[in-house]
Structure formats: structure tokens, C-alpha cells
Amino acid sequence: MDEYGPLDDVLTALADPTRRAILARLAASDARVTDVAAPFSISLNSVSKHIRILERADLVRRRKQGREHMLALNPAPLDAASDWLDQQRALWAWRLDELDKILKEPAS
């Protein structure tokens, strides 16, 4: 098991509250870019940048529907990120088991 998985894009994407809010919105339903941007006080251009970061992490996928760009949540990378934390937990647990074995060795 490694300390760090190749999840940098996902974790970077999740590090920002605006992007988390976009994900939460898309968790409810697919939406147009303009709908996603509507609740935010920042510019559409700025929201678009956030969406591109989410797309790069493959957390959001875009499809054309007529003249509109529809956005959809792709949850798979979230599972990968969650798995990563589980791996960290397992690795530390394994290390403490190793310590336990060492402490039970007969004193030399």
C-alpha cells in the first residue's frame, strides 16, 4: 500500500467550497452550465473555470444537448478518494499490528 495514490486532480477539485457546491448541485440532477452558475455571486467565467477543474478530475462530465451544455456528476472518483482514506487507515492499522508483534517477542 502506498501513502499517496494518483488522486491529485480529484483532491484538488474537492479542496474548493465552490466546486463542492457545484458537485452537490449536480448530485441532485444533471444541469445546464448556466443553471449551475446561477446561485453563485461569482462570474459565469469563474464558474466555468471551476467546472473545468471538476472535468479534469472526471468528477463532472459534459454533453451537448441541442445548443446547451449539460453537466452530470460522475461519482466514481469520489469512491476512489474514499478508498484512499480507507487504505491509509488499513496501513496504519497494519503498522500497529506489527508493533504489537514486536512487543510480544521474547526479550532478548
Partner 1 sequence: MTNEAVSSVVVTHRFDAAPERVFDAFLDVAIARRFLFATAKGEMIAAEIDPRVGGRYTFTDRRPDMGDVLHTGEYLEIDRPRRLVFTFGVPQFAPGYTTVTIDIRPDGEGCVLTLTNDDVPAAHADGNRDGWTRILTGLLPAYEDVQAAGWL
- Could you give phi then psi for residue 77, rounded to 5 degrees? -65, -25
Residues 51-90 that bind partner 1 (CB under 8 A): 73, 75, 78, 81-82, 85, 88-89
Question: Quick check: 46 binds partner 1 (CB under 8 A)?
Answer: no
Q: 64 vs 107, which CB is nearer to partner 1?
A: 107
Alpha carbon distance 74, 57 (integer Å): 10
Query: Which residues, in sequence order, are CB contacts of 106 under 8 Å at separation 6+?
Result: none
Q: Where are the alpha helices (DSSP H) in the chain?
A: 8-14, 17-28, 33-37, 44-56, 76-103
Q: 67 vs 99, which CB is nearer to partner 1?
A: 99
Question: Quick check: 99 binds partner 1 (CB under 8 A)?
Answer: yes
Which residues form the interface with partner 1 (CB under 8 A)?
1-4, 8, 11-12, 14-17, 19-21, 23-25, 27-28, 73, 75, 78, 81-82, 85, 88-89, 91-100, 102-104
